[in-house]
Every structure is written in structure tokens, then in C-alpha cells.
Amino acid sequence: MIENQTHAKVEIAAFQQEKEGANCCGDDYVTVETDSYFLCALADGLGSGEPAYRSSSVAMDMVRKYHDQSIETMLHQCNRALFHERGVVITILKVDFAFNEIIYGNIGNVETYLFNQDGVMNRPMPMSGYLSGRPFKYRMQQYPIEQGTHFVMHSDGIKFSKSDREKMKHAGSPRTPIQYFAEKAQEQNDDITVVVGHIT
């Protein structure tokens, strides 16, 4: 299923697919925009099906509730809420309009790729681990942004190849690349979520 969302300063397109035989996708994502910032978070519940979706949904509920706090606070609130749940891997991106920077927070293998308007790519390296109510370590990084910056976030059900990165270097509207990833996902039998964003 493809969803398109147009915020005031960021255009988003997302695709989700559940594993064959499952009644729902074990991933969840959320986007929030205010006058000061834009937030995109993606959680991949461990395993698949309903238990995985419950964990990812709990995490996204915490992001919605605490989106005006720091990414560190959001991660800690997610972790607390996931006690006795299966757990998630998660990435949160915050586009800070005032400081013209993207703040990246992560634990686990939700991959992220950032491209500037010249096609130069940054790939933040995920921190191994997951959230499930236990002590954890996370990775925080910051990147400058400019008009035309775009990004891709995806769960581990799909692989982002070198040719995929080339296709994304000068992507404009997210609608074309998300259609490409939706077609590519048909080759995989797994929970898959891909989110493509373009800062207008």
C-alpha cells in the first residue's frame, strides 16, 4: 500500500507490505510537522504479524506523544513503553528548520540514506541492538540540510542496492521512487516499510 502526504515543508511517500500469510505489517511509521521541525520515525517490530505490529505501534504512539521532546527522550519513552513487549528497532529523523539540520537517532537496523540537492549521499550507520525495556545504547548524528534535501528510510525487509542509490541521487517528488520500491518489494516475502521524503 502506498501513502502520499504533503506537509508544509516536506513531501512524504511511503510503502508498506506485510509478510505473506500475516494479517498485518509488523512495521509502523509516523510523521509530524510543526512550524519549527518535521519528524519522521520508523519502527520495525521484532518478528512479524500481530505481536510485531503491537510493538512497533506502541513505539510510534510514544513518538506522537513526545514529539516535542528530544530524540533521546523519545527513545527512552519508547523503551519504557516496550517493557513486556517483543521489542523494536527504530530510527527517528528530526528536520530542524531553525538550525537547518537533520538530527538522526537510531537503535537497530532501520536503514537511512540522506541526499543533498547535488546528489551527495550520507548514510548514517545504525547502532546494533533493539528496544524492549532493557538498558540500551543509541546513535545520534547531525547533518546540514538545504532546500532539495531528500531521504530514504526502510526496514530490513528490502535491500537498498548501489543502483537504488543512484536512482535516488536526484529524485524530486517522492512519488516516483516510492512506486519503484513498491515494485521491487514484490520480489520479497517479508514485512517491508519504505519512507521517502523531500524537503521542499
pLDDT at 52: 94
Per-residue pLDDT band at 169 (split at 50, 70, 90): confident
| Contact (CB, 8 A) for 112 and 106 | yes
What is the tens place of the pLDDT at every residue in 57-101?
A: 999 999 999 999 999 999 999 999 999 999 999 999 999 999 999
Q: Worst-scoring range by mean pLDDT, 46-60, 92-106, 109-123, 173-187?
A: 173-187
Task: Extract the C-alpha cell encoding 4.
Answer: 502520499
CA distance 14 to 11: 10
Does residue 128 have a pLDDT over 80?
Answer: yes
Q: What residues have CB less than 8 Å from 121, skipping those under 6 apart?
A: 113, 114, 115, 165, 168, 169
Cβ count within 10 A of residue 143? 16
pLDDT at 66: 98
Please, what's the b/e burial string for 148-177 (b: 16 or more CB within 10 A of its CB; e: otherwise)? ebbbbbbbbbbebeeebeeebeebeebeeb
| Contact (CB, 8 A) for 200 and 36 | no
What is the tens place of the pLDDT at every residue in 153-168?
A: 999 888 888 888 887 8
Does residue 2 have a pLDDT over 80?
Answer: no
Per-residue pLDDT band at 14 (split at 50, 70, 90): very high
If one compares 189 and 142, the residue with the highest pLDDT of the two is 142
Cβ count within 10 A of residue 34? 12
Task: Extract the C-alpha cell encoding 76.
Answer: 527512552
pTM metric for this prediction: 0.94
